[in-house]
Every structure is written in structure tokens, then in C-alpha cells.
Chains A and B, each alone.
Chain A
Amino acid sequence: MKKTHIIALALIAISIGVLISFMGSVTTYETIESAKAKPGRYVNLIAKLDKSKPFEYDPATNPNLLQFTAIDTLGNSIPVIYHNAKPTDMEKSERIVLKGRVKDGAFECEDILLKCPSKYKDDISANAQNVKTQMSDTTSSY
């Protein structure tokens, strides 16, 4: 066996090891209920903003504190605490992915991903929606 083959095999073995350890570190998507069952575990929640509950963000008092309530498709909800600036468009998002941990019944969020209607994409139905709302709402302007 040639030296190059031995080194190649060793490198490939290392790469496989790296990928296996990576697969060990991946996290999971959870519903609010299943996330509550695993307090302290880092999870990804797919939810949306509960617009009936207060949405607190006041940069004058504390620019690094955002509190709101998330609700998922199964109807469960959980208060969320996010120690960072409010992502732009948060209120407009139709779906949010929250990354963090459940702690004392609240979700300590470390990162928020927004799924907005038609951001940087050709989402036709969302665009149609936009056109309709803006057509009917003549007062809206910017």
C-alpha cells in the first residue's frame, strides 16, 4: 500500500469522524409542548407571535430585552425572553424559529429567525396579498 493511500485513508477516516461528531451535536426542532418536556436542552422552536399578548420592547429602557409570547400550531404558548435587539420586521413575521432553552417555564431565546412574507424571494401568494392589502388600504403610505 502506498503512503498516499494510507494518508488518504487516514484523512477520510478523520473526516468521517468529524461528521459523526457533528451529527452528534445537531439539535432538533420541537413543538412548544415537547420543548417544555426538555428544560435546559437547546432546541429550535417553530412558532409564531401571539399577537393577543403584549409585545414588550423599549430601547430607551433596555435595548437588549425583548419579551413576547410565542404560540405554535398546536395552540400551546410560552413566554419568550430574548436578550438582544428586536429583529426588524418581527411583528410582520408570519412564522418564527426560536433557538434557545426552556428555563423556569419561559423560553430563554438566543437567536430568532424570521420567516417573513416575501423577503428576498418571489413568493407569489404573499405578493398578491401585499398588493391587495395596499390597494384596499389607501391610507397606508411610506
Chain B
Amino acid sequence: MEYNGEHLLPGQIGEWLILISLTASLTATLSYFFASKKSESAHADGWIKMGRWSYAAVCCSVLGVFSLLVFIIANHYHEYYYAWNHSSINLQPQYLLASLWEGQEGSFLLWNFWNCVLGFLLIRKAGKWEATTMTVISFCQFFIATMLIGIYFFGYKVGGNPFILFREQMPDMPLFNNPDYLQLARIKEGNDLNVLLQNYWMVIHPPVLFLGFASTIVPFAFAYGGLITKDHSWTTKSLSWTLFSGAALGTGIMMGAAWAYESLNFGGYWAWDPVENASLVPWLILVAGLHTNLIYKHSGYSLRTTYIFYILSFSLVLYSTFLTRSGVLGDTSVHAFTGADMTVQLLCFFGAFLIPALVLFFINRKNIPTIHKEESSYSREFWMFIGALVLFLSGIIITAKTSVPVYNLVFGTNVALPEDPVFAHNQVQIFIAIIIGVLTAITQYLKYKDTPRNQFAKKIMLPTVIALVISVCISIFGNVSYTEKGAGFLGAIYVALFASVYAIIANAGYIFTGLKGKVKTSGASVAHVGFGMVLLGIILSSAGKAVLSQNTTGIALFEKSKNEDPAENITLFKGLRTDMNTYHVTYQGDSTNTYDRKKYFELLFEPKDGSKSFFIYPDVLANNKGQEGFSANPDKEHFWNNDIFVYTSSFQQGTSNDTIQYRPITLQAGDTSFYSNGMIILNKSDLNPPDMQARLAPGALAVQLDITVISKEGSKYAVKPAIILKDSTLDIIPDTVLSQSMVLKFNRIVDEQKGILEIGIKEDRRMNDIVTLKVYAFPFINVLWIGIVIMIIGFVMSMYRRIQNMKLRAV
């Protein structure tokens, strides 16, 4: 059948380019591998040349594939399934890139792209390590290319092709009998980008994170080179690369945290979600490797550990790729991809790097020099090694806990995460934080090899005392009292608080006392100050995190259990000022923005202490992709010491059409009647009550009812409907109980003698615009964000210095 309006050329070119990148990366791998086997450079040169040309072909084809996919998405060629499935014609232009990496294929492509950049830099900078490092990079490119080919190989589908046509993807759909199917609204419109990803962080976070992921291959590649050539001098070159990787991966992870904080409503920046853990663990082990690498450079110890850490860091990136993309995580993760039958392929990817590297390591381990003399306990390398080991073990513990679904898969067991998975992590990691914090503080004051005892004690004394005083002050006056998990955990929080303050003070002090304020060499200290601030920010904001949206009816809906606080959501009725913790909150209105298709709620927060009131605008966005309902985006008000964080847990649009009738009931004073959610008591009727007299025209007669409404939750409301009689006209003044969605009116006097009156009750749940909120306070979260920035600056400073050093040595 001929279809109208399809653009098939870009896809055909794209498919060819993917094949070229696949074969060229294989050629590059083999060429570089043979080059690395030749001991004399004269023999290797030919192979290197061939490797370079092949690699250039890989880069060109990857760039081509990338551009074509952008082109297809940007032009809304929805005959391509990927473009249809991940974007829409209404999507704002800045999210077109986010559409590109929403799917598996696009994010692999992103990884591919960064590998190209890294490979290019290595060819230029790696010198004698080019052949070995590029073998590894090309091999990785080969594996990623297999993820994109999407062909059947002996009945097993290999990868997913981003250029597959919609009608090839779902050939059975009847709409493809229509040659003009592209004109159908549903096709033309596109399936859209998942609303959770329509956030500016999603434009920038994935590229940075993937740069981080991709760059962990470089230390791995150097280590591989060292094992192949039995030459361990790569440890000088690797430092700047490892620092770069640490900075990129660290930034990427924390951008993800910022995204979670900004737009996901799991109530914070970190939830120990498997996807988060999977990116944190390689970073921890990379940083451990960075420190052992430094130890080796300065003292000759820890070379074997450096090998192991660098090998594991990249391998764990591959393992996390397997975890998050194979669908094995299933129920345990909020935002994992689910598998397009790639489980086996992803496992091969992981095994193809980890197993050969470990085998090479064990074959060569006797050739890796070690020092048998024991380190002094007053040496920097000793404590740095302990710190690196603790970081490594922390990573292993996190991985082991995250891998619960994998055990089920492998052993056929039936276990799930513990009752409180977040606390299961916190209760261990807080001790890791304590050890690392203290080690970060003291280790810089020690010298490599050995340190004179009294000199060390003298220098460390002042920062220790300052840190102790500050942390005790914060503990006492800083409102840090997290008693939910018992006194033991609170104690650990206090110690961790000290450790993080200690890390900040000691390292900041070291810049002046140890380095005499020399900026050039202070990168490590700056990074450590930042790291200490990150720890401090985490502790202060988590320990002091408070739910402000307590249900103010005062009724406990259920018993408070170990994990669940009752009633953490507050319901606001439009226009009704509601008491919430230290604020009065009013839901003033909502507005719909056609540009970003969001509905914003305007909430007025009036602090009870009389300070300046402010507005917070959480929003919701109608779900797409065949989902009903809405996704909530939080909003927050930043203060220097606190963030007020709000998201809508549900909302209800009031209806304006008034079809519900008043239900009449007759009552006498003192009578009780019922409504759907409680009871109504008529206390008395007042003739011309004083509070109405001002409104009465001369000669008018007012009868006002004094009614008490008691809801079954126990709330009492005074209601005063009235009638006003003037001449022969009757004016009815109803009164409402907004929170009960009820209107009461005084209909008529049935029997004047006996005092029998008729009132009308109208109940309509849909009467009001209602919004249900969850509100948190995160104290001192800015310490965390600033800490990250400082830490990354420290990484970059150190990296710059390492690169300068290498240049000097080269001269």
C-alpha cells in the first residue's frame, strides 16, 4: 500500500548509519586491540591509524543518527514511532530534546554521543595509552550500537531501532489500512512527552548524568591498559579524568535530586529509589578509587585497590544500566524503564566488561607492585585508605539492598523491601557519614608517610573545638529533634552533625593553616568543604523536615504507627482561610496556562507571626499517554533558612450548575435533624437580632435562625440563615457551611403557635472548588545545594591543577 505524506528518507539513512557505527566500532576495537599487542611503535602505527579512522566513522555516524532523530522529532514526523511516542505537536520547543532521551533508544544514543566526545579527547591526549584506552571505548561503542539496531538475531531481538516506523511497530492496527493515516488526529498529535518529564531539569539533567556515566569508562580503560601492558604509570594521567568524571557524575546525580525536589511529589530530593542508588554507587566507588589513586601516587601503597575500584566503578554503571533498563526492578522503583526484552543483552554488556577485567586483574595481580612495610597510623595514606574502603563498602551495601529484585529473579525467592526501606538505608548510611565526615576533617592535617605527633595535635585542636561548639549549638538551638526512630538514631544524628561541621571547619581551616591560602592547590580542601556542607544540608533538612499540612480537625483518624503519621493532608475550600500550623492558608483561585498546559493553584500563605505573606503556586498537568488524572508539580517558597514545599495531592472542580434541590425539614427550637455527615441542631430563632439590624430597611422584619451543625468528625459550625419580610416581599438569606458543602436556608414558618419552622438543606459535594495539599518544611536545604556547587568547584580546581602539572612535566 502507498501511504501519503510519509518521510522515509531520514529513517533509511539513520538505519544505515547505525549499522555503520556498529561495524566501525568493531573495526576500531580490533584495530586498537592489535595495536596494543605490538610492543614496537612502528608496528603499532598502522593499526592505530586504522583504529582512528574507524573511530572517526563511528563518531560521524553517531552524530548523524543523533541529528536525524532530532530532525524527525522537531518536524513531528509521526510516521516514526519514536517521534510519535515521545513528543507531540503542542510540546514546547525546549522539551523536544527531552523527548529525545525519554525512551531507551534515545538515552543510549546520548551515552553514545558522550563516548564519542571522550574518545576524541583520549585520541588527542592519552599518548601512549591511546591504543589500550580506545580499545575499551570502542568496545563500549560497539555494545551501545547493538542496543540501537533492533534486528532479530537467531530469533532473539537485539536492541531497539529508534527509526522504526509506526506501522512497522504495530502492523496489526487497522488504521494502517488508511493511506492517509498520518492525518488522523491521534497520530498527528503525538503521544506526548510524559508530563513528569516536562520540566526544565529534564532538559539538562540527563545529558550531564550520562556524561558522568560515560566518563567512568576512562579510569576503567586506563586500568585495563595498565593490566595489559604491566605499566602502572597511567595512574598520573588518570587523576584528572577521574576528577572530571567525579564532577560530572556528581553534578548529574544532584541535578536528578533537584528535579525530584522540583517536580516529583515523593516529598523530597532523595528517596533511595533504585534508580538514584544506581547512579550514586558508581560515584562512591569512583571517589574511593580517586583517593587510592592519590595514595599510590604519593606513597606507593594501594595500587591493587585502585585497579579494583576503577574496574568496579564502571562495571557498576553497567550493572545499574541493567537494573534500571531491564525491568527487573519492577515494583520497587518509581521511575525505572521497563524492558523491551533487553535483559540478556544488558547482562552481556555488564559481563563483557567486568569479567575480562577481573580475570586480567587476577592473572596479573602478582605483577602489581605492593609495599609490604606497614603504613604509619600517623600517615595520610593510612586514613585515606580507610576512608576509601568505607566509601566502597557503603556502595556495596547500597547495591546489595537495591538488588533485592535480582535475588528473587536468580534464586526464585519471594522477598520484598523492608517495611521502611528508606530508614533501612538511613540507619546504616548515617554511620558511614560519621566516619567519612571525621576522616575528611582530620586526614588533610596528616602528611604522607608520617606526621610529627605534637604538630598534628596542635593544628587539629582549634578546628575540633570550633566544630564541637558549633555542632552542639546547632543540636541544641537548631530544632534538631528527630525522635521518630528513637533516641539512638537521634544520637547518631547529633554525632553526624558534628562530623559534617567538623569536615567543613577543618578543611576550610586547612586552606589557611596548611596551604597558607594558596588557591591553586586548595581544590581538595574546597571539595571537602563542599562535601561536608552536603552532609550537613542532608542532616538538617531531613532531621528537621516537618509536615505542616496536619489535618486541623484535631481528630486522629487512626493510630499513629511507626511509619505513618495520620492525616498529613489538608483540604482547602476556595476562599476559605484555613489554619495550618504556623500559617493561615487561603486557596484563592486557579488559572490554566495554555502555553504549558498546566493548572496553577494560587495559595496565599499568611504567617501567624505577622511577617510578610506570600503566594505559592503548585500546579497540576493533565496526564497523557492514555493515563487519566493529573500529575502534580510541587512549588516552594524559599527562605534563607527554610523551604516551604507544597504539592496538591488532589483537587476537585466545583460545578456551577445548581441542579440539586433543597431538602425541606421541619423543626422546632431544640430539635435535632441529620444530614449526610452529621447533625443539625436548631437552637432558637431570633426576631430582629442585633447583628442584622444595620442591614434592615425601615419597617422590615427579620427572623434569623441560630443553628449548630456538628459534623461526625466533631467540628461545630454556627449557621445563621434568615428571612427578611418587608411589605409583601420575602427575602431569603441562606447560610453555608463550606467545609461540609452544605447550604441551609430558612423556608417558612409552618406553625407560628407551636414554633414549627421549615428549613431547606442542600448538600452538594461538588459545590466547591477544593484542593488537598501536602505541605512540608525543609529547613536549611540551601546548605545542601550550595555544598554541591562548592564540591563541584573543588573537583574542577583539582582537575585543572592536575592538568597543569602534567603540562609542566611534559615541558
Contact = CB atoms under 8 A, between A and B. Distances in A.
Contacts of B632: 88
Contact of B557 (A58, A83, A133, A134): A83
Nearest to A81: B558
A84 B331 contact: no
Interface in A98-136: 99, 108, 110, 113, 115-124, 126-135
B557 A132 contact: no
A59 B571 contact: yes
B393 A91 contact: no
Interface stretch (A22-30, A48-56, A69-77): A22-30
A88 B397 contact: no
B344 interface: no
Contacts of B466: none
Contacts of B696: none
A68 interface: no
A22 B557 contact: no
Closest 3 CB pairs of A and B: A130-B626, A85-B649, A63-B772
Interface in B372-431: 374-375, 377, 382, 385-386, 389-390, 393, 396-397, 400-401, 404, 414-419, 424, 428
A60 interface: yes
B396 A15 contact: yes
Contacts of A59: 571, 650-652, 770, 772
Contact of B558 (A18, A27, A83): A83
29 contacts: A12-B393, A22-B401, A22-B418, A25-B418, A25-B419, A27-B415, A42-B419, A59-B770, A60-B652, A60-B739, A63-B571, A64-B566, A64-B567, A81-B558, A83-B557, A83-B566, A84-B568, A88-B623, A89-B627, A117-B626, A119-B194, A120-B337, A122-B103, A127-B85, A130-B625, A130-B626, A131-B170, A131-B186, A142-B622
Nearest to B172: A128
Contact of A85 (B340, B428, B772): B772
Nearest to A1: B374
Interface string A17-52: 011001101111100000000000010101000000
A78 interface: no
Contacts of B631: 88
B741 interface: yes
A94 B557 CA distance: 29
B568 A64 contact: yes
Given A3-B382, A19-B400, A135-B184, A64 B393 contact: no
B31 interface: no
Interface of B: 85, 103-104, 160, 169-170, 173, 175, 184, 186, 191, 194, 196-197, 331, 335-338, 340, 374-375, 377, 382, 385-386, 389-390, 393, 396-397, 400-401, 404, 414-419, 424, 428, 551, 557-558, 561, 563-564, 566-571, 573, 622-623, 625-632, 649-652, 677, 713, 739-741, 765, 768, 770, 772, 774
A42 B421 CA distance: 13
Contacts of B196: 120
Contacts of B385: 4
Given A59-B772, A131-B186, A110 B564 contact: yes
Contacts of A11: 386, 389-390, 393
Nearest to B415: A26
A45 B160 CA distance: 33
A64 B739 contact: no
A25 B424 contact: yes
Nearest to B425: A22
A8 B551 CA distance: 50
Nearest to A2: B374
Given A4-B386, A63-B571, A124-B170, A85 B416 contact: no
A105 to B, nearest CB: 16
A110 B561 contact: yes
Most buried by B among A81, A85, A110, A129: A85
Nearest to B567: A64
Nearest to B82: A122
B627 A28 contact: no
Contacts of A44: 331, 416
B335 A110 contact: no
A28 B416 contact: yes
B424 A22 contact: yes
Contacts of B338: 121-123
Contacts of B416: 26-29, 44
Contacts of B568: 64, 84
A63 B191 contact: no
A12 B390 CA distance: 9
